[in-house]
Amino acid sequence: MTYSHQLPHILHVVGARPNFMKVAPVLRALATRPAVKQTLVHTGQHYDANMSDVFFRQLEIPAPDVNLSVGAGSHAWQTAEIMIRFEPVVQQCEPDVVVVYGDVNSTAAAALVCAKLNVPVAHVEAGLRSFDRTMPEEINRLVTDQLSDLLLTPSLDGNRNLAREGIAPGKVAFVGNVMIDTLARLLPLAIQTVPADLPKCYGLLTLHRPSNVDNPEILRSILQTLLEFTDELDIFFPLHPRTQRRLDEFGLTCLCQRKMRLMDPLPYVEFLGLQHRATCVITDSGGIQEEATFLGVPCLTVRENTERPITVTCGTNTLVGRNMDLLTAEIRRILAGQGKLGARPELWDGRAGERIADCLLERYAQGTLWNAPQSQSMFAPAETAQ
Ligand code: UD1
């Protein structure tokens, strides 16, 4: 890679709801640095106003320079279509580095395009592993990390996973959790949006993983377990479009409507407002496990594993899997005031965006973004040296 001009050109790729809270702090941090050119590409993987536009508004993300308008499809179709539409954008923009976020199909598709075009890739939220290859996100994480030139990890388990997979330590930097930057910035606003008539005790439920919502028996068993508690615990249930469709298809909407508060997908600020006051969160999302840990709200994760083990070992998260007796027992424990308290993990401090900006610009200045030498990681020398 030759650096033909002095002005670093950084191209960011986002596509789905969980990407937006991660890109916002990086864009903001880089915008304050002199002479950085930034381009934002939205793949259009998520396209509904309440899955995308409202996040751009609330998080003050500038309108994308390019929208690939890909939309929904099978994994192969969506990934391939993003690649086909993204390749000419990279060829035209000639960025010095492309930054990809998280583990969605847009992340892996963009990394593949750049690797083939010999354009350096930086991966924000690198190194997380569930060790469950039946999860499409795990495949996206593995592919993206193998192809990335700079791997920015949110927690040190990420550094250990990457070392185990043979990633050169010099490519890895422990920068902390960038999603927490957005949370910390918008929490005061979120607190103001909380309705005055919120019940004292309520659970916040989100389910969207195909493994939970595409099977009528599994979805019904989760919902029936929770319905047992609705006399003691109000349940707010914002619905992902897929979940909404499945509830209708399986004839479960009426069952829920009677005893739960079903809602459209909530904007970021309103969701955060509800989350910070919740008695507990019940979820299969990745990001919500982290947010609940930061907020100190007990979180019950309806999955057999997590790529974010630090939320269990250090934070407020408990994996209940598909064990509905365990879900029941954990809710009882929380209602008895014995929910997990947890602590905030290292570098979940609202400054990860600044560290990512520093790291990108330092590496650019040194000319080490591409084929980074096997030097020590700048943020975690002890860990990555293993
Ligand atoms: C994607 C990510 C997942 C992330 C989730 C957050 C992958 C493999 N999965 O899953 O990691 O946790 O986003 O929401 O990338 N749909 C709409 N409107 C939209 C977006 C989606 O109606 O704006 C519907 C479409 O019909 C689509 C379905 O929801 O078929 C699923 O969308 P998709 O982007 O394929 O995956 P998610 O389940 O959202």
**Chain segment 346-361, per-residue pLDDT in tens:** 999 999 999 999 999 9
Q: Name the β-bridge partners of 368.
A: none
Per-residue confidence band for 27, with pLDDT thresholds at 50, 70 and 90: very high
- pLDDT surpassing 90 at residue 16: yes
| pLDDT exceeds cutoff 60 at 183 | yes
State the DSSP code for 169. Answer: G
Give the integer Cα–Cα distance in Å for 205 and 224.
Answer: 13
Q: What is the mean pLDDT of the chain?
A: 94
User: How confident is residue 372, by pLDDT bands cut at 50, 70 and 90?
Assistant: very low
Q: Which residues are catalytic?
A: 208
Would you state the structure tokens that stand for residue 168, as one six-digit string?
């050169």
Largest CA distance in the chain: 66
CA-nearest residue, atom 7 of ligand 1: 104
- Give the alpha-carbon dihedral of 205, 211, 215, 217, to 10 degrees: -60
pLDDT at 379 over 70: no
Share of the chain above pLDDT 70, in %: 94
pLDDT of 132 above 60: yes
Task: Calculate Rg over the CA atoms of the chain.
Answer: 21
| Cβ of 211 below 6 Å from ligand 1 | no
Q: What is the 17 CA–ligand 1 centroid distance (Å)?
A: 8
377 has pLDDT over 70: no
For residue 380, pLDDT beyond 90: no
Relative to the CA of 18, which ligand 1 atom is closest?
6
Q: Where residue 370 falls among pLDDT bands split at 50, 70, 90?
A: low
CB of 104 closer than 6 A to ligand 1? Answer: yes
Q: What is the rounded distance in angstroms from the CA atom of residue 42 to the CA atom of residue 15? A: 5
Over 60: is that where the pLDDT of 189 sits? yes
Question: What stretches of 229-323 show up as alpha helix (H) in DSSP?
Answer: 241-249, 253-259, 268-277, 287-295, 310-313
Cα(204) to centroid of ligand 1, in Å? Answer: 20
| Closest C-alpha residue for ligand 1 atom 21 | 46
Ligand 1 in reach of 136 Cβ (< 6 A): yes
Q: How far is the CA of 225 from the centre of ligand 1 (A)?
A: 25
Whose CA is closest to atom 35 on ligand 1?
72
